[in-house]
Structure 1
Amino acid sequence: MGRMSEELPAYAELVLEVAERIPPGRVMTYGDVAEWLGEGGPRQVGRVMALYGGAVPWWRVVRADGVPLPGSERRALEHYRAEGTPLRGTASGETRLAMRRARWDGRGEGAGGDEGHI
């Protein structure tokens, strides 16, 4: 593919590979990705996504509180709605991810049989 992988740091390659594996309609937190890889932490994953995430489904790697990425909320919400990602409203009228239902544990290639259940 045209991602110029030789120029990416090794850790960035790993993070982006995990982001590409997250099934449509599901998400992993920055911390989940770091834990799944067994190295780095949420800040390192966030930095990789900020620098290189445009080449992968960046909207599937999220903050643990379920708030869409500041500055990219509208684009992220369009992706979530198109993919059927579980969302919830807040008392203040904001839309957040329904983390308990949207979160993917990294097992298996698909989201399993629970897609579409609310």
Structure 2
Amino acid sequence: MNPFTEKAIKAIQSIPPGYVMTYGQVAAAAGNRRGARQVVRVLHSMSGKHNLPWHRIINAKGGISAPADAKEKGNRQRQLLEAEGIRFLPNDTIDLSTYRWLGFDGEEE
């Protein structure tokens, strides 16, 4: 496994219930601030194997990014986040100043 993928997995696993990280934030913590699409790949291919809390990753605007043909997945993500106490604003976004997880910086413990 390459170092970016390992760090991305660690960053995603670090997010506690009730908090989120953006794709770009995970990418930066993993060493490539422009690697948001790589984070999507990690989530798609490794969420099950590594038991990743995929639902805690959102876009930079605080919204859920689900393809048009995957509306059910977007609804499921919202349900999981709400079950953890995250409240959505009227425009269907999350207040990142309240719910963004800043506890992972990519450095080894």
Give your verdict on TM over 0.5: yes
Which structure 1 segments of 5+ residues have no match? 1-8, 109-118
Corresponding residue to 1:68 among 64, 67, 71: 64
Could you say which structure has the larger radius of gyration?
1
1:83 maps to a residue whose letter is E
The higher relative CO (CA closer than 8 Å, separation ≥ 6) is in 2
Distance, in Å, in 2 between the alignment partners of 1:107 and 1:50 is 21
1:80 maps to a residue whose letter is L
2:84 match: 83
1:115 match: none
Greater fraction strand: 1
1:34-61: CA deviation from partner (whole Å, max 9, x where unpaired): 1112236111112211222233100111
2:36 match: 42
Distance, in Å, in 2 between the alignment partners of 1:13 and 1:38 is 10
Contact preservation (8 Å) 1:24, 1:85: no
1:103 Cα deviation after fit: 0.9
1:106 Cα deviation after fit: 2.3
TM-score (norm 1): 0.70
Contact preservation (8 Å) 1:36, 1:106: no
Q: Is the deviation greater in 99-108 or in 69-78?
A: 99-108
Q: Percent identity?
A: 33
1:107 Cα deviation after fit: 4.8
Distance, in Å, in 2 between the alignment partners of 1:107 and 1:86 is 22
Moved over 3 A (4+): none
Distance, in Å, in 2 between the alignment partners of 1:96 and 1:69 is 11
1:97 match: 94
TM-score (norm 2): 0.75
Q: Is the deviation greater in 65-74 or in 26-35?
A: 65-74
1:25 match: 18
1:96 maps to a residue whose letter is T
In the alignment of these two chains, the number of paired residues is 96
